[in-house]
Amino acid sequence: MITLKEIAKECGVSTATVSNILNGKNNASEETRERVLSVVKERGYKLNYVAQGLRKQKTQTIGVIAEDIAQFTTPEIIEGIMETCEERGYRTIVQNLRLYSRWQDQWFDNDKMYYSIMDPAVQEMASIRVDGIVYVAGHARKIHRFPSDYDIPSVLAYAYSQEKDVPSVVIDDEESARAAVRHLIEKGHTKIGVMAGEQENIHTKLRILGYQKALYEAGILYNPELVVYAGWNKELSYNAAQKILDKDVTAIFCMSDRTAGGVYEYMFDHGKEVAKDISIMGFDNEVIADYMTPGLSTMKIELVEIGKRTMELLFDKMEGREIPDEIKVPCTLVERNSIAQFVEK
């Protein structure tokens, strides 16, 4: 591999001049800069960021550890992280643990599985001397296994930290569900069913609280029989749809767009129309929401914003500023055509 010294000799300049050009310092003529960059490109020279960091005691590099990039929430969170890093002149290195791809949900309570993948990832981050780590969870839960003993400033995105020194940025599930149900109420609906996830899931619990709060504020009595705990996929909600429809609800708040898809399909198979017969509200704003017929009104999770806020939190931590233990990012209502104005007959 060609060295900085060899690049300098070939260009007829000092190593300091080559170093300054590669680090963006504008103290060389345009002709010299172009000549150096041309040789660098032709010879395939790459900066040694690790050695550079050892000299500066900082590498200007942030490590991103993702539980699984295949999770629909993860790419946009990483996009927000990378955008913020670029604005501050930092590089990013991403480690994809592929936990869901490897083991589905079997690793949730299996420390041996988890650490067999997590430990090497963090050790690699430490070996290249990243200045900080963002851990991107695949789903919201309480995380107590983040290795704080690695002595690298760290923050958590999309899950709740149980480590005192690892702050987190999460969805404001409760407030977002409240806004979703309030929108249904404003459309005249008072008998609103809920297609919920698993009963012990954090998203489910918080969104139920938001649902209850919206009902209370509107003077509507909460009826637990209108809540069906089905899970998070289309097949489960399809099978549970009739149970809600039997309650004569006029609207259904689905806790994910995928479960809304199951209700859509069930209604189609049974000769009913969304909006005309039953209004549907989703949650997530996945791509499928805009392709449903009619388009699904839903709550958009501000994933890029979660990434940005997480990165800003990490920078504050790295710079020794006082930081909160947790930041909640609310979702945004996206109106389409799945909710009709309800008028009592």
Structure tokens at 286: 């996945």
Rounded Cα–Cα distance for residues 137 and 160 (Å): 9
Rounded Cα–Cα distance for residues 310 and 92 (Å): 14
pTM of the full structure: 0.81
Q: Scanning the structure block, which residue is given the tokens 């429809």?
A: 245
CATH 3.40.50.2300 domain range(s) in the chain = 55-166, 173-301
**Statement: residue 145 has pLDDT above 80:** no
In this prediction, residue 10 carries a pLDDT of: 87
Structure tokens at 158: 């999309």
Comparing 259-263, 276-280, 317-321, which segment has the lowest mean pLDDT? 317-321
**Statement: residue 147 has pLDDT above 70:** no
DSSP 259-318: HHHHHHHHHHHTT--BTTTBEEE-SB--THHHHSSSPPBEEE--HHHHHHHHHHHHHHHH
**Statement: residue 83 has pLDDT above 80:** yes
pLDDT, average across residues 201-209: 96
CB-based burial, 139-168: b 16+ in 10 Å, e otherwise: bbeebeebbeeeebbbbbbbbbbebeebbb
Q: What contacts 75, CB < 8 A, 6 or more positions away?
A: 69
Which CATH entry fits the domain spanning 4-47: 1.10.260.40, 2.60.40.420, 1.10.10.10, 1.10.3720.10? 1.10.260.40
DSSP 64-91: EEES-TTSTTHHHHHHHHHHHHHHTT-E
Confidence of residue 26 (pLDDT cuts 50, 70, 90): low
Per CATH, is 173-301 categorized as 3.40.50.2300? yes
**Statement: residue 165 has pLDDT above 70:** yes
In this prediction, residue 112 carries a pLDDT of: 85
In this prediction, residue 46 carries a pLDDT of: 61
Comparing 5-19, 169-183, 298-312, which segment has the lowest mean pLDDT? 5-19
Q: Scanning the structure block, which residue is given the tokens 């909160």?
A: 324
**Statement: residue 284 has pLDDT above 50:** yes
pLDDT, average across residues 17-44: 78
In this prediction, residue 50 carries a pLDDT of: 46
In this prediction, residue 1 carries a pLDDT of: 62
User: Within 13 Å of residue 338, how many CA atoms lie on the same side as its CB?
Assistant: 30
For 289-311, what is each residue's pLDDT tens digit? 999 999 999 999 999 999 999 99
Rounded Cα–Cα distance for residues 150 and 331 (Å): 33
The end-to-end CA distance of the chain, in Å, is 80
In this prediction, residue 108 carries a pLDDT of: 79
In this prediction, residue 281 carries a pLDDT of: 98
Comparing 7-11, 226-230, 264-268, 269-273, which segment has the lowest mean pLDDT? 7-11
Which CATH entry fits the domain spanning 55-166: 3.20.20.70, 3.30.565.10, 3.40.50.2300, 3.40.50.720? 3.40.50.2300
CATH 1.10.260.40 domain range(s) in the chain = 4-47
Q: 332 phi and psi, to 5 degrees? A: -115, 135
